[in-house]
Amino acid sequence: MSQTLKRVGQRTVQFSNPPCIISTATIVGPKEGEGPLAHTFDKVMEDTYYGQKSWEKAESKILEESVQMALQKVNLSLQDIDYLLAGDLINQIICCNFAARTLGIPFFGLYGACSTMYEGLALGAMLIDGGFASKVVAATCSHHNTSERQYRYPTELGSQRPMTAQWTITGAGAFVLASEGTGPRITHATVGKVVDAGVKDPFDMGAAMAPAALDTLVNHFKDTGRGPQDYDLIVTGDLASVGRSVLIQLAQQQGYDLSQNYTDCGVLIFDPSQDTHAGGSGCACIAVVTGGYILNQMKAGKLRRILGIATGALLSPLSVQQGESIPGIAHAVAIEL
Amino acid sequence: MSQTLKRVGQRTVQFSNPPCIISTATIVGPKEGEGPLAHTFDKVMEDTYYGQKSWEKAESKILEESVQMALQKVNLSLQDIDYLLAGDLINQIICCNFAARTLGIPFFGLYGACSTMYEGLALGAMLIDGGFASKVVAATCSHHNTSERQYRYPTELGSQRPMTAQWTITGAGAFVLASEGTGPRITHATVGKVVDAGVKDPFDMGAAMAPAALDTLVNHFKDTGRGPQDYDLIVTGDLASVGRSVLIQLAQQQGYDLSQNYTDCGVLIFDPSQDTHAGGSGCACIAVVTGGYILNQMKAGKLRRILGIATGALLSPLSVQQGESIPGIAHAVAIEL
């Protein structure tokens, strides 16, 4: 009862023994493997089916393999992991459920839309720092074709998409967190509230999610006494080019200058020539960009302290059909060397 | 780093300062309000729309109201709560997302199918005992009509259901957990693995989930050194009548006699005359039965130590169409006076 709360300010957790990211693994689809970050991923799929009978089974398979790959890198086996925290975009998170069946690790299923990777990192770090686990894996996946046919139109239709639309990436990322080890550490987590800016266009999710990112960002700064200048990099995933501009503008109005050291995973993962319109999205986007490019930069000593903010659009085809707007949520995690 | 892990055996967490269930609230639909537990619920809906324009909006509304009601009972406001942990059965857990929008509490979205209530209790207790929160709310909801039209057939069809089928209940339950206070306490949590017995019939989910319940139950007993005789009541939710018989038989083969003090929330919530076939199911079933009937019995001193095991069937219409079997998961939580 006498325990001191590991909290600072209103909304932020400050870990007492910051959990370590001892390993990550990333797998991406063919299109992502042609983008500017190609060299930072562990594996590029040759095709979108990946030897499976459906895109959903392929999505499940890459999640499973990313977890196994992350463990192999540090010579751990599935039995060494206390909990798996994972979720995806597909109805009833079946891709993660079926991967968890094969992996056999005690499993917490999550749903945070594209914020899921950082929801898992925040919770996973709490389970370790709280003394409930010595090692956990947080993971997520998305697949362009499974999302497209579930959220939008049958892929066969070849519908045109407006320029504000984002491209759900195909990929999977797994992070192994441990109480001890070498690697960057998760020092803070600021958990998001659901924020609704009233946007109703499912082809403009960057604008829908930017206010949620702002809310979490501003609260993180207020709670910790930090500002943009205290981070080498602030990275969202995935507001893409439209939402990124909105966030910079909204932050400016609150007195925070993001123009110097802020980027977005949806912007980083594709080259404009790849014709993805506003950029990437999907649970896996921030997962593979953080797990690959950004952590590589940290390990190389080029970045020492980053703030990652994963944003999720909390819509479903049904909620849109019933006239609901698209609220967003954003979870922030500070990672430091 | 020197922190002692709060774990016993392979899979079980033993809380160092067991979090207290300081309040609960339960709302159920009209049919559940005609059942044998009617007097134990806080509110019975007059109709399934509850003044909303769709069943999904009604499901969201009762979740929101159950949280507010649970807080009102102990004179707490929304601002007093550090985290809301919630999930439901509907695609992209929209009922919980939209309720979280109104409630404005930092939100962890969960998906554990009908195991979600205990997934939230286990995680919520860890967040408190780990020092990351002083008060959290864990909540869930389900609605017969939203589930029926999503998972099975359009409700207008009036399709016949086999006798092994369960009836998704309409309801919502919210639990307020706190580091201090009076009330029963969560002493242990055993988190489930995904277990697949190869069952492919979505109208026989009790049989599909019983092996997952067995796995968690047996591991809980091995980890804690306890057996059925150490609990005044062991309660699953929801194997219903078919799955309950399967679990008793499977446990018998492992040397555990469940015949004396084991029941299931899906069996308790309806009277056979209500023609629900095997009994109740849905995220809300174990939530409202635990939050109402069972905790009432504990507060009255009639039960001092119970083991609740929430079971989830990890299927989706798509996974069934793609020929997948129906794996299950089960999370156990021990609650003691």
Place of tokens 């990550």: A24
Residue B160 has pLDDT above 70, yes or no: yes
Using 50, 70 and 90 to split pLDDT, how confident is the model at B1?
very low
B26 class by beta-carbon count within 10 Å (0-12 exposed, 13-18 middle, 19+ buried): buried
Chain pair A-B, CB pairs under 8 angstroms: 199
Whether the predicted pLDDT of B27 surpasses 60: yes
pLDDT digit string (tens) for B180-197? Answer: 999 999 999 999 999 999
Q: What is the pLDDT of residue B235?
A: 98
Neighbours of B241 (CB within 10 A): 19
ipTM of the complex: 0.97
Q: Is A235 within 8 Å of chain B by CB?
A: no
Contacts of A165 (CB under 8 A, 6+ apart): A203, A204, A277, A278
Mean pLDDT of chain A: 96
Query: Is pLDDT of A229 > 50?
Result: yes
CA dist., res. B302 & res. B289, Å (int): 16
Is the same domain home to A244 and A264?
yes
Q: Is the pLDDT of residue B15 over 80?
A: yes
- A164 burial via Cβ count (<10 Å: 0-12, 13-18, 19+): middle
The last residue of one of the domains, among B178, B199, B223, is B178
Q: Are A55 and A204 in contact (CB under 8 A)?
A: no
Among candidate residues B178, B193, B213, the one where a domain is terminated: B178
Q: How confident is the model at residue A112 (pLDDT cuts 50, 70, 90)?
A: very high
Does position B41 have pLDDT exceeding 60, yes or no? yes
The answer to whether B196 contacts chain A (CB < 8 Å) is yes
Mean pLDDT computed over A187-208: 93
Q: What is the DSSP annotation of A216-250?
A: HHHHHHHHHT--GGG-SEEEEES-HHHHHHHHHHH
In angstroms, the separation between the Cα of residue B262 and the nearest Cα of chain A is: 24
Dihedral sign (CA B86, B89, B94, B99): negative
A135: pLDDT confidence band, cut at 50, 70 and 90?
Answer: very high
Of A57, A100, A316, the CB nearest to B92: A316
Q: Which of A6, A111, A209, A311 to probe by mutation at the B interface, max B CB count within 10 Å?
A: A111
- Identify whether residues A149 and A31 lie together within a single domain: yes
The C-alpha of B10 sits at a distance from chain A's nearest C-alpha, in angstroms, of 9
How buried is B279 (Cβ within 10 angstroms: 0-12 exposed, 13-18 middle, 19+ buried)? buried
Q: Cβ B94–A318 below 8 Å, yes or no?
A: yes
Q: Is A149 in the same domain as A201? A: no
Give the orientation angle of helix A55-73 with respect to helix A94-103, to 10 degrees. Answer: 40
Q: Which helix (H) or strand (E) holds A147?
A: helix A144-151
B324 and B248 belong to one structural domain: yes
The answer to whether B62 contacts chain A (CB < 8 Å) is no
The residue-averaged pLDDT of A115-143 equals: 98
- The pLDDT confidence band at residue B2, using thresholds 50, 70 and 90, is very low
Beta bridge partners of A332: A190, A309
* Mean pLDDT along residues B220-234: 98
The pLDDT assigned to B205 comes to 87
Q: Is the pLDDT of residue A38 over 80?
A: yes
Confidence of residue A309 (pLDDT cuts 50, 70, 90): very high
- The predicted-structure confidence for B237-275, as pLDDT tens digits, reads as follows 999 999 999 999 999 999 999 999 999 999 999 999 999
Task: State yes or no: pLDDT of A75 exceeds 80.
Answer: yes
The C-alpha of B256 sits at a distance from chain A's nearest C-alpha, in angstroms, of 22
The pLDDT of A313-335, averaged and rounded, is 95
| A314 to B106: CB separation less than 8 angstroms, yes or no | no
Residue B146 structural domain:
3-178
**Angstrom distances, CA of residue A177 to CA of A60, A73, A214, B311:** 21, 13, 27, 27
Last residue of a domain, one of A125, A154, A178: A178
**Partner residue facing B318 (CB), from A94, A130, A192:** A94
- The pLDDT confidence band at residue B97, using thresholds 50, 70 and 90, is very high
Query: In terms of DSSP bridges, do strands A185-190 and A328-336 run parallel, antiparallel, or are they unpaired?
Result: antiparallel
User: Mean per-residue pLDDT for B202-226?
Assistant: 95
Residues in chain B: 337
| B49 shares contact with chain A (CB less than 8 Å) | no
Position A202 confidence tier, pLDDT thresholds 50, 70, 90 = confident
Residues A40 and A144 in one domain: yes
What is the number of domains present in chain A? 2
Backbone angles phi, psi at A263, to 5 degrees: -140, 180
Same domain, B173 and B189: no
Percent of chain A with pLDDT over 90: 91
HSE (CB half, 13 Å, CA atoms) of B197?
21
> Are residues B310 and B263 part of one domain?
yes
| Residue in A57, A90, A111 nearest the CB of B93 | A111
How confident is the model over A96-120, as a mean pLDDT?
98
Q: How do beta strands B166-168 and A166-168 pair?
A: unpaired
Contact residues for A290 (Cβ-Cβ < 8 A; gap 6+): A24, A117, A173, A235, A237, A265, A308
Is there a contact between A91 and B317 if contact means CB atoms under 8 Å apart?
yes
Residue owning tokens 């119970």: B306
pLDDT in tens, B287-300: 999 999 999 999 99
Does one domain contain both A95 and A190?
no
Distance CA B285, CA B60 (A): 16
Residue A1 has pLDDT above 90, yes or no: no
pLDDT at position A163: 86
Residues 251-290 of B with CB under 8 A from A: none
Give B334: exposed, middle or buried? Use CB within 10 Å, 0-12, 13-18, 19+.
buried
CB-closest option in A54, A110, A322 to B110: A110
Which residues does residue A84 pair with via DSSP β-bridges, in sequence order? A107, A137
Please say whether the beta carbons of B312 and B285 come within 8 A.
Answer: no
Mean pLDDT for the stretch of residues A60-70: 98
- Closest alpha carbon within chain A to B9: A82
pLDDT averaged over every residue in chain B: 96
Which residues does chain A have within 8 Å of residue B215's beta carbon, measured at their own beta carbons? Answer: none
Whole-Å CA distances, B32 to A63, B153, B172:
40, 21, 11
Nearest to A24 by CA among A117, A144, A130, A126: A117
Q: Please tell me whether residues B165 and B198 are part of one structural domain.
A: no
| Cα separation, A86 vs A99, whole angstroms | 10
Residue B98 clears pLDDT 70, i.e. is over it: yes
| CATH code, domain with B190 | 3.40.47.40
Report residue B204's pLDDT band, with 50, 70 and 90 as the boundaries: confident
B223 close to A (CB below 8 A):
no
Q: With contacts defined as CB-CB under 8 Å, which chain B residues touch A83?
A: 191
pLDDT, residue B57, reads 98
pLDDT digits (tens, 9 = 90+) for A281-290: 999 999 999 9
- B173 vs A: CB within 8 A: no
* CA distance between the termini of chain B: 32
Answer yes or no: do B7 and B90 share one domain.
yes
Kindly state whether residues A108 and A140 are assigned to the same domain: yes
Position with higher pLDDT, A36 vs A275 = A36
Average pLDDT over residues A50-74: 98
- A246 and A309 both lie in a single domain: yes
First vs last C-alpha separation in chain A:
32
Contact B332, B308 (CB under 8 A): yes
